[in-house]
Amino acid sequence: MRDYNNLLEKTNEEGVSVVEIDLGTDTPCGKCIGDTIFINDRSTANEKKCVLAEELGHYHLTIGDITDLKDINNKKQELKARRYGYRLLIEPDDIVQAMKQGCNNRYELADFLNISEEFFDELIEDFKKQYGMGIFVGNYYLQFEPCLGLIRDFGGLFNYK
């Protein structure tokens, strides 16, 4: 998904309506109630895109009211919805392509990927949990630890097996 409008179209195709309203805060946030997603209209387009992706995760995966995050089951559902949003918008290959285009830091990467910097940071933390120190993407190794980096495999130097 390159921009917020593309994600809005996808959401409408799924039969979910999106309402942008003032939620009384400058913080990017949203809420899924039934088949309607409410998005804070004070957010930027990139922030709205990130919130909408997560709220779509709630629409597809969440059961009941999970606002009490002290309950472990609610916390698990929140994590599943966030992970759904991450995967909906960005895959490891997208980060590789951005780095190949010359993006060198989190600000440039977030801008290139049309997501907020906070969402990018949370995405990388989630990738670390899922993939560990890094992941092979084609002829590249996308490194998450000790810092984000891209290493190209020249002539099969990495042991893929």
pLDDT more than 70, % of the chain: 94
- pTM score, two decimals? 0.89
Give the residue from 111, 141, 142, 145 showing the smallest Cα distance to 125: 145
Residues 6 or more apart whose CB falls under 8 angstroms from that of 125 comprise none
65-110 confidence digits (pLDDT tens): 888 989 999 999 999 999 999 999 999 999 999 999 999 999 999 9
